[in-house]
Amino acid sequence: MKEEEVNRCQMQEWYQKFKSLSFKTRIHELPESFVQYLLDDSGPFLLPVSISNDDAFPNRIHNLEEEDDYQVSEGSGDESEQPSMPPSFPELELEVKESIKSLGGSVFPKLNWSAPKDSAWISTTGSLKCSSFSEIALLIRSSDSLVHDLRHAYDSCSDKNLNKA
């Protein structure tokens, strides 16, 4: 298979032609900073800070300090170690929020080739149905299938190295 053939399989390449046979779709260009966030495996798993205060886990307990059995562990003692700041993608979040609204309030996320089907287990509903940017970020950040698409989509192409020179 050639890179051009792989590219033709991307959703944005075929969607207009098969629009009448597919789900209503909104396609967003992801900023490079968001792609790097998806690929970052070096630190803690942090969801982006939501500008709309949306939460990927809306039913979780937010004030754990009030619980009797909640304890804060003392860390490693290295005071110079600063906690990682969660990323924020306000422009993308606003675009996605508008798309969710225009599509009826919930969406099925996917990148160019794949959906995050391997990360449904982490959603609060056990499905890929998302109603916020935070839920989408959780699913796609948790998906090995999407990391494969981002890092290895062209690995099997016969002309892989020819176009990179």
Contact indicator for 163, 15 with CB cutoff of 8 Å? no
Q: pLDDT of 113-156, one tens digit each?
A: 999 999 999 998 899 999 999 999 999 999 999 999 999 999 99
Which of 109, 118, 98 has its CA nearest to residue 34? 109
Residue 51: its pLDDT value, please?
82
Q: Does the predicted model carry a pTM greater than 0.85?
A: no
Bridge partners, residue 130, by sequence:
107
Distance spanning both ends of the chain, measured CA to CA: 19
Distances (CA, A) of 54 to 27, 45, 80, 93: 21, 17, 31, 10
Tens digits of per-residue pLDDT, 61-105?
445 555 555 555 555 555 556 767 889 999 999 999 999 999 999
